[in-house]
Amino acid sequence: MTERSPVGGIHSVRAALKFGQGGVDELWIERGRRDRRLEELVALAQAAGVRLRQVERDALERQAPGINHQGVIAWVRVPAARPESELFALLDRLADPPLLLLLDEVQDPHNLGACLRTAEAAGVQAVIAPKDRAVGLTPVVCKVASGAAATLPYVQVTNLARVMERLKERGIWLVGAAGEVEREIYDLDLRGPLGLVLGSEGKGLRRLTREHCDHLGRLPMRGQVESLNVSVAAGVCLYEALRQRSRKTLS
């Protein structure tokens, strides 16, 4: 099932049109507004066969309250999460070593949206999360993800620990982020088949999730704060993996 939801703002609408054309139902443009960037969005919408409507500014305000719409709204269909069975079918089709992101009970939609956006940019093939006590694909998630929710598989599973075991049976190494361990994430080999595992905003990795990781690494904290936002931590870990995977050997 899908839900129609407004996405406002030039950057977010452009991302929705470029990366999720099949999920954009309609584009609303503020009547009488002249802007080169809006004209580019109209051209993208026309090329994708998206319906166009010119509306008054107050119509945009009513449909997207609190959003800095900049004179444009895209009506998008929120994609459904993928079932667990699709994850392993996806893995069977991969030609390159898997790079997966596992999120343990992330509940804030802004954090999930940011994680999806970063994961898609880093070349992650799927994001995996439990069905319970975790946010799904909501309109807020999709807006923050700026198109990534439509292109990157988001897989919800019943039992995360069980899925981790099945991934390990396939030769995928699982590396969890934990602040109290000795080794830093930069000291770990992240080049092969890999699943990076991050915990919730408050409690981090649950005990059972932690026990199913092959290795744990921490992000160095040089200041006074004790931890990073989960989406920021995901970005640091993913791009360290990307850096290593672009090199033949570690120094």
**Which residues carry a binding-site annotation for S-adenosyl-L-methionine?**
199, 219, 228
Measured distance between the N- and C-terminal CA atoms of the chain, rounded to whole angstroms:
48
**d(Cα 160, Cα 164) in Å, to the nearest integer?**
6
Map residue 206 onto helix, strand or coil. Answer: coil
Task: Provide the pairing of β-strand 215-217 with 173-177.
Answer: parallel
DSSP per residue, 124-139: -SEEEEESTTS--S-H
Placement of tokens 């790079």 in the chain:
99
Contacts 24+ apart (CB under 8 A), 54-57: 54/28, 54/29, 54/30, 55/28, 55/29, 55/30, 55/31, 56/30, 56/31, 57/30, 57/31
| Cα distance between residue 52 and residue 98, in whole Å | 40
Binding-site annotation: residue ranges: 199, 219, 228
